[in-house]
Structure 1
Amino acid sequence: MTATPQTSPVPARPGRPRSARADKAILEATLDLLAEEAGVAGVSMEAVAARAGVGKTTVYRRWPNKERLIVDALAALKHPLPELAGRSVREDLLTLARSIGADHTDRRSRCVWNVLGGFDRHPELLARYRQEVIEPRREVVRGVLRRGVATGELRPDLDIEVAVTMLVGAMTLQGRVPAPPPADPAGAAERLAEGVVDALLRGIAA
């Protein structure tokens, strides 16, 4: 199975050519504001424009409201999902685990948690984030698990949603739990990915 590369869903608009530099500055400014303690409440189109060094009309020309902007900014934090070899469930899950883990090692990944903490006050933002950012990536994991059931590598009675949540949750929470930086970050990340995948497979393998 081959994963479709994920890109930030910034919509193309008619008119004069978009400035990639302005787009990047606006998304970076949004992430910086989200990473501060105020989270969603600290983001406004005016504040983003001021932080990015552009005019407010420049922001509105690209995004109609701050909810749309926040979703696109959070999507920009995600690494594109890699192509999957499709040779074994373990190999593909390990590839995905590494990629998911990489999304949560940057210092600004805390902005995701700031946003999640305010989703109860912004249900439409949560729904859009799930639909456009989270679900397409979870569906790739589901596809690997479904294939594993079909090939007999995984248990026929596997609860796909539980297995997805176990894998994604374990790799996501590493950026949430405070810990001293490892002496070998790359090695620690690899050991974590292998440990999570192998522990999961011990419970779901046929």
Structure 2
Amino acid sequence: MSPPTDPRVRRTRAVVLETVLDLLAERGVAGTTVEAVAERSGVAKTTIYRHWDGQAALVLDAFAGVRRPPEDPDTGTLRGDLTALATGLAGAVSAGPAAGLWFALVDAAERDPRLGALHHREAELRHAVILRVVERGVGRGELPDGTDPAEVLDLLAGPIFYRRAATGATVDRRYAERLVDRVLRAYRT
């Protein structure tokens, strides 16, 4: 959809999408209904329905506005690359507008095929970067031949999501560095 040219429409859309992000972070997808968005934003439901065909479309549009695909770092070492990616992931699930969205999207993906497809696409984009980094590390001899890049991804990302989702603990650069060192040490033994 191309952006609206009328400044009032742009402002209204921005208010609605900001409200959707706030509600997603607070209540998850189930609590981010068109009615809740209308009530909180002050934008009439009819106006919302003029631009989006329902809750899933609102969530998809809001998520598209804040997602930032990870950059492919090339620091020259596997440790440096993985630390950059782990730190970026930790930041994405801990702070900023997308932090609450990750967990809301994972939850909603189980129930809504459109949100499930979005979650799958997002995961593939993010995973592709880490898989390339690991493959580069294997190519440089920093990991043994035959290392499964998907397994390294699981060992790196899993603890970050668990620590944030299950315990609410901070995931900072020091934690990311220790995690990367443990993963790399496991492959060197």
Shorter chain as denominator, the TM-score bin is: 0.7 to 0.9
SS class of match (1:31): helix
- RMSD over aligned Cα atoms: 3.1
1:199 pairs with 2:177: no
- Residue type of the alignment partner of 2:183: L
Provide closer, same or farther for how the CA distance between residues 138 and 72 of structure 1 changes in structure 2, counting only shifts above 3 A: farther
Which of 127, 135, 138 is residue 146 of structure 1 equivalent to? 135
For residues 8 and 186 of structure 2, the distance between their equivalents in structure 1, rounded to whole angstroms, comes to 49
Map of 1:128 onto structure 2: 118
Given that 1:86 and 1:92 are in contact with CA atoms closer than 8 Å, whether structure 2 keeps it comes out as: yes
Distance (whole Å) between structure 1 residues aligned to residue 168 and residue 150 of structure 2 = 29
Mapped pair 1:176 → 2:146: no
Name 1:163's counterpart in structure 2: 152
Instruction: Specify the alignment match of 2:31 in structure 1.
Output: 42
2 CA distance for matches of 1:29 and 1:156?
Answer: 49
SS at match of 2:73: coil
Residue deviations 1:21-75 (CA, integer Å, cap 9, x gap) = 44442222112222344x3222222322332232335434543432232134345
Q: Give yes or no for contact 2:138–2:147 (8 Å, CA) kept in 1.
A: yes
Distance in 1 of aligned mates of 2:3 and 2:10: 13
CA distance in 2, matches of 1:118, 1:136: 19
The aligned residue for residue 18 of structure 2 is: 28
Give the TM-score of the pair, scaled to structure 2. 0.79
* 5+ long unaligned stretches in structure 1: 1-10, 182-187
Range with bigger deviation, 14-23 or 40-49: 14-23
Alpha-carbon separation, structure 1, partners of 2:84 and 2:26: 31
SS in 2 for 1:40: coil
Q: Shift in Å at residue 77 of structure 1?
A: 5.0
**1:23–1:201 Cα change, 3 Å:** farther
Paired positions, count: 188
Residue of 74, 93, 102 corresponding to 2:91: 102
* Aligned partner (choices 45, 48, 52) of residue 56 of structure 1: 45
1:189 maps to 172
Residues 179, 13 of structure 1: CA spacing in aligned structure 2 closer, same or farther, 3 A cutoff?
A: closer
Q: Report deviation, 1:96.
A: 0.9
| Aligned mates of 2:11, 2:85 — CA distance in 1 | 30
1:107/1:90 Cα in 2 relative to 1: closer, same or farther (>3 Å)? closer
Indicate conservation of the 8 Å contact 2:109/2:119, yes or no. no
Q: Bigger CA drift: 141-150 or 76-85?
A: 76-85
Q: TM-score, normalised by structure 1?
A: 0.73
